[in-house]
Amino acid sequence: MIDIKFLRENPEIVKENIRKKFQDAKLPLVDEVIALDAESRKNKLAADNYRADRNKYSKQIGALMAQGKRDEAEEMKRLVNEQAQALAEAEEKERTLQEKITKIMMTIPQIIDDSVPIGRDDSENVEVERFGEPKVPDFEIPYHTDIMETFDGIDLDAAGRVAGNGFYYLMGDIARIHSSVISYARDFMIDRGFTYCVPPFMIRSQVVNGVMSFAEMDAMMYKIEGEDLFLIGTSEHSMIGKFIDQIIPEEKLPYTLTSYSPCFRKEKGAHGIEERGVYRIHQFEKQEMIVVCRPEESMMWYDKLWKNTVDLFRSLDIPVRTLECCSGDLADLKVKSVDVEAWSPRQKKYFEVGSCSNLGDAQARRLKIRVNGKDGKKYLAHTLNNTVVAPPRMLIAFLENNLNADGSVNIPAALRPYMGGIEKIYPKK
């Protein structure tokens, strides 16, 4: 959410940003919110005048009563009562106007960084760099669930009977790899100076509204019936929510955190849930990284975050590339974003395994996360997040890139301490 003062003073910049995101239907909202803001400020001035008059008349009533001028005091009381009614009406109008302004402001997209490529959707995202040599072996690589089934490592049928599509049972060596990757990712980030955290897996609506757009919320979040609670779609939600309504001493920044959580997503929309496979599902686990920092440091942290993911995947012998998200593919709260994609030897192409985002002050403004500067002035923090690793997507890349012709799967050296020292797992059928 952008600053109303910035919008008021720079309406054309805001409109041009909307055009860059190909959301022209939102253009009239800029003029609408400016008109509502002007009305709100005019109404607030009137309310302030009513309050000033009330205070003045109240003092005069006391003085008149002390002088024995009862009739004049009663007349003054009548004026005070009239002012009280007018003030109540002005305050109610102010509440209504502010609700309208906030609702509109939460749909106007954040100003994107000048470096973001302009494009309508993810088909126009721009490849930045490749890391590792993508290879295609001289034997056929099965579909990822077929690989898992040779290890008796997955049961989609049982999960379907228990919970429906979008769920799975992982078992044996495949489940062990899943847990090992999460543990390795945790220690990988701790070694890079991040503080490990396990957050709440449910958050209140106030936090949901603070960390994402309405469209994202509708497409992703599961609501707990009868409670003001939502299941998190990623630990970023509760981790950023940790700082809601806080004034942070500047010397404590940056906060660099890495968090583990299960994640729950409805996955509504064009992609949908896979009938077979574990690429897009309702429930998965994830290691995340979150940074809360000073505005001037956010782009530096942005580069550090995505590089952490690249380094982790390369340490597991998985080639990756970075893909700059174009303007039309950016969620409304994001200033800049890059996807990390892993190589799929079976598909002979890359697929998304993580996303790094700089949200500027958008989440901080919504959640009132402020910093107390050394000069005593308060300002909004910047927030960033990035996927460290999110099995089971990691499992797809891991199995395909480490599969041997005989069906066995190599365990990279970095993961062996978490797998009991074994160097290879062998299929059971």
Render pLDDT for 268-316 as a digit per residue (tens, 0 to 9): 655 655 557 888 889 999 999 999 999 999 999 999 999 999 999 999 9
Q: Where are the alpha helices (DSSP H) in 192-286?
A: 205-211, 214-220, 235-241
Reduced to 3 states (helix: H, G, I; strand: E, B; else coil), residue 225 is coil
**Structure tokens that stand for 383 in this block:** 């927030």
Domain boundaries defined on the chain: 4-105, 122-425
CATH topology of domain 4-105: Helix Hairpins (1.10.287)
**Nearest to residue 382, comparing CAs of 302, 293, 289, 303?**
293
Which residues are CB-contacts of 22 (< 8 A; sequence separation ≥ 6)? 120, 327, 328
Reported as a single tens digit per residue, the pLDDT across 323-378 is 999 999 999 999 999 999 999 999 999 999 999 999 999 999 999 999 999 899 99
- Same topology between domain 4-105 and domain 122-425: no
Looking at per-residue pLDDT, the higher value among 69 and 101 belongs to 101
Span 122-425: which CATH code?
A: 3.30.930.10
The pLDDT, as a whole number, for residue 68 is 74
**Structure tokens that stand for 258 in this block:** 């890495």
**Structure tokens that stand for 127 in this block:** 């490849």
Q: ∠257-299-292 over CA atoms, to 5°? A: 30
Q: Which residue has the tokens 């990390």?
A: 340
Reported as a single tens digit per residue, the pLDDT across 251-263 is 999 999 999 999 9
The pLDDT, as a whole number, for residue 268 is 63
Reported as a single tens digit per residue, the pLDDT across 202-235 is 999 999 999 987 777 777 899 999 999 999 999 9
Instruction: Judge whether 262 and 208 are in contact, CB under 8 Å.
Output: no
The pLDDT, as a whole number, for residue 237 is 94
The pLDDT, as a whole number, for residue 391 is 86
Average pLDDT, the chain: 92
Reported as a single tens digit per residue, the pLDDT across 18-61 is 999 999 999 999 999 999 999 999 999 988 887 877 777 777 77
- Report d(CA 392, CA 175) in Å as an integer: 10
Confidence check: pLDDT of 75 > 80: no
The pLDDT, as a whole number, for residue 54 is 74
- Report d(CA 399, CA 177) in Å as an integer: 10
